[in-house]
Structure 1
Amino acid sequence: MIRKIACGTATLGASLFAAATACAQEAGVPIAAATETVETLAVPNPGNNAWMMTSTLLVLMMILPGLALFYGGLTRSKNMLSMMTQIGATAALAMLIWVMWGYSTAFGPEGNAFFSWGNMFLSATTSDSTAATFSDEVISEYVFISFQMTFAAITAALILGATAERMKFSATMLFVTIWLTIVYFPIAHMVWAGGGLLFEMGALDFAGGTVVHINAGVSALVLSFLLGKRHGYPAEPMPPHSLTLTMIGTGLLWVGWFGFNAGSELEADGTAGLAMINTFVATASAALFWMLCEKFSGHKGSALGYCSGIIAGLVAVTPAAGNSGPFGAIVLGAIASIVCFIMVAKVKPALGYDDSLDAFGIHGVGGIVGAIGTGVVYAPSLGGPGGDDFMMGSQVMTQIIAVLVAIGWAAVGTLIAGLVTKMITGLRVSSEVEMEGLDIGEHGERAYN
């Protein structure tokens, strides 16, 4: 994905100016002409800038209204507004934190293998600052910052699927603040920033399988254990109150995911096109294979299964979007869908934990399948973009190490954030509020009259 640290025009300009001046002096070209060349090189490509602005808005659409409707429809009606409000407020909080210290911690100008620093409150960024892409092009750093900001926002919001219908709003806000700081920002730096631990190891994560989905899924599982089960779970039926809204949310997520995946190339080029078609076909494959799993399990192919398959396919193809050929993406989507179905339909009931909306079962497990599978589908023999010197075994081992690091960091960091939050605000609403519904108990409103 965005595996480049943003660089300011001042730094880029200084180095280009020095090189251009030296060349100009040798060739007898006036210094002013050399300076004009430098300024031309530093100007963002308008087409790429426009595509990245569009991609950023597509990812925002994934959060509001996409994820809010998807998760909201899966809750009981008495918790619909609570779910939507938590997602919206989490996204808004993440955006403010990103500007204050998040971007600096993930992509700052100074850093080590685990985090960075040096640009708090975006003090070193101006409208002339640029960020490097994967070629010799640049885009506006503010656009890059905004794009990455939406990733931080949706990752934090994804966790809320596991804590639905029982977590305090105040606890959600405090937890998100701590979690972003000690879990998300460091993992984003390790995977996507030059000098980051996993980046330097050569781990492949085109658009966030590790940073977003494994991170959010594992964190969701840990937090669900800290919270405990919903009252009545699993004996009491707790079906989704509106699969219509969930289906609408699913469609918005799929459309928005093209910004998520194709946008992660940072340019409107052939690799972005590859990520686009992979986002189509992996998702289509996963949706149908989930319904086939339902059929072979003795059930009818369901709308909920279709929606779950779509999300599983999107999650699995995220790290492989620009790292796989289309057929590899189809196979990856199918495998991820089957594994996620088994996790949600068989393993979760057997273990008895309450991951309310299957944030771990789909995002965590699908992310793991996708991250490891990326090491396979990257192979040129399978249609992937890997070079002639590509070694599948070595790359798969690197992917497994990246997955284990993400799981360990997310689990420990979430445990710390959850325990601190529990100590300060408490995590769970009272029994009375849970029975009445969080819409009224936490927000004084009802989704439906």
Structure 2
Amino acid sequence: MAPAITLAAEAPTLSAANTGFMLICSALVMLMTPGLAFFYGGMVRVKSTLNMLMMSFISLGIVTILWVLYGFSLAFGTDSGSLIGWNSDWVGLSNIGLTELWDGYTIPIFVFMVFQLMFAIITPALISGALADRVKFTAWALFIALWATVVYFPVAHWVWGAGGWAFELGVIDFAGGTAVHINAGAAALGVILVIGKRVGFKKDPMRPHSLPLVMLGAGLLWFGWFGFNAGSWLGNDDGVGALMFVNTQIATAAAMLAWLIYEKIRHGAFTTLGAASGAVSGLVAITPSGGAVSPLGAIAVGAIAGLLCAMAVGLKYKFGYDDSLDVVGVHLVGGVVGSLLVGLFASGKGQSTVEGLFYGGGMTQFWKQCAGVFAVLAYSLIVSAILAFVIDKTMGMRVTEDDEIAGIDQAEHAETAYDFSGAGGGAARTAVPAAAGTESKKVDA
């Protein structure tokens, strides 16, 4: 019998199906930034609505240009010292062929680039919710540009870039628990510790002005998150992306229910704001872990995150930091919870054979997760605080107290979200039945 001939593995070829799938996922992730704008915009007072929307929308402009010029190269170029990447051929997206494939995959580099761009866009936008009502728009725009350059691009390389130290260590972050949510949540904490509290914090009511907008935003985030998570497998050939899609739905549902149960026990009511916030906490927590856990594990991840995030949002009143829209309580805490639970609930039957503590794998993966979580948390918090401090001392980070009280929309954008003048300016008139023998009269309502 002739000896068997061993053939070299065939090089990947462009897959139209995976390319189309990833372009759809990229569009879904792009939709999340406007969804975030509505989510945050409904949670603030009327006088801050437009500013909150714009703080998300401006990221679509700034980060896109930076990503094209040098961000993609820094995040995913050839590794240097396990800390940063660089590829001069990608500067300005030059010298990339139309059908040139992302290494080891069946999608073009352009498709991978634009998918990762959408992650880079939404991450600084997440920070904005902690700074509602009080930050100059020009200062915020500058902060986005600097933060993306010195924080997001390097951290993305650590976690996802070939040669990045967290990637090489084996830290599991399927779609952004560390690089996106912990990164943004820690940055939010760093900035608010520098710029201080809103006028009237703990004294004035600062209730959401439009809960329907909050629910719309949460729904758009939930919808877009399927692209955010399932697309992060960069294809749809082996079922792992499908597992992530399923786990995203399951964990989000579990977190929403856990938050509402806690809220009912603690505060006596099931609120729409609680439902929306609980759903987002589940989305955050399953983002790093969904490719590693089973559907039953996803229930556990979601329920634990929903409960702990619901408890964490009240810490700002205890410790006195003004996290306006609970970015720290939801994104930082949810990202930490979801990332660390990989070390407990990884089943070994998803994205890799790595098993967590509850599946017989011991504590090895848990300690790896801790290294990734706390390194990103510390780096982002410290550097973000430094950036905010420098901007505050040079051009000023906050609007004046008078502008904050009167409304940042008018001060920064010369607009208001709602124009009531078209509804009629005169007092309403109501007919009052006349007494017997007299004419009916009109009185002001």
> Residue type of the partner of 2:119?
F
User: SS at 1:190's partner residue?
Assistant: helix
Q: How does 1:11-160 map to 2 (within 5 A)?
A: 41=11, 43-64=13-34, 66-118=35-87, 119-133=90-104, 137-160=105-128
Q: TM-score, length-normalised on structure 2?
A: 0.88
Q: What secondary structure does 2:102 align onto? A: strand
In structure 2, the partner of 1:165 is 133
Matches of 2:362 and 2:134, distance apart in 1: 44
* Counterpart Cα distance in 2 of 1:208 and 1:248: 23
What TM-score do the two structures reach when normalised by structure 1?
A: 0.88
- The answer to whether the Cα contact below 8 Å between 1:378 and 1:385 also exists between their aligned partners in 2 is no
Among 366, 373, 377, the alignment partner of 1:403 is 373
- The verdict on how the C-alpha distance between 1:139 and 1:352 changes in structure 2, with shifts beyond 3 A counting, is same
Match of 2:334 among 338, 342, 366: 366
Letter in 2 for 1:197: W
Q: Which sections of structure 1, spanning at least 5 residues, go unmatched?
A: 1-25, 28-33
Say whether the 8 Å CA contact 2:240–2:350 is kept in structure 1.
no
Counterparts of 1:117-266 in structure 2, within 5 Å, are 117-118=86-87, 119-133=90-104, 137-266=105-234
Whole-angstrom CA distance in 1 between matches of 2:236 and 2:347 = 24
Gapped runs of 5+ residues in structure 2?
1-5, 420-445
Work out the CA distance in 2 between the residues paired with 1:366 and 1:389.
21
Task: Check if 1:352 corresponds to 2:352.
Answer: no
Give the aligned partner of residue 6 of structure 1.
none
Does the 8 Å CA contact 2:309/2:330 hold for their aligned counterparts? yes
RMSD: 1.9
For 1:288, which of 251, 254, 257 is the aligned residue?
Answer: 257
> Residue 293 of structure 2 corresponds to which residue in structure 1?
324
The number of aligned residues is: 407
Moved over 3 A (4+): 383-386
Of stretches 388-397 and 207-216 in structure 1, the one that deviates more from structure 2 is 388-397
Change (3 A) 1:389 1:150: closer
Amino acid in structure 2 at the alignment position of 1:224: I
Identity of aligned residues (%): 42
Deviations 1:342-390 (A, max 9, x none): 1113x2211121000001110000000000001211134xx76653877
Q: Equivalent residue for 1:427?
A: 397
Q: State the alpha-carbon separation in 1 of the partners of residues 270 and 366 from structure 2.
A: 34
Q: Which residue of 2 aligns with 1:387?
A: 353
Compare the two structures and name the one with the higher helix fraction: 1
Q: Which amino acid aligns with 1:373?
A: L
Offset of residue 225 of structure 1 = 1.3
* Residue number among 273, 293, 309 corresponding to 2:278 in the alignment: 309
Give the whole-Å Cα distance in 1 for the aligned partners of 2:171 and 2:95: 29
1:389-435 CA distances to partner (integer Å, 9 max, x unpaired)? 77330000000011111011101210222122223321000112111
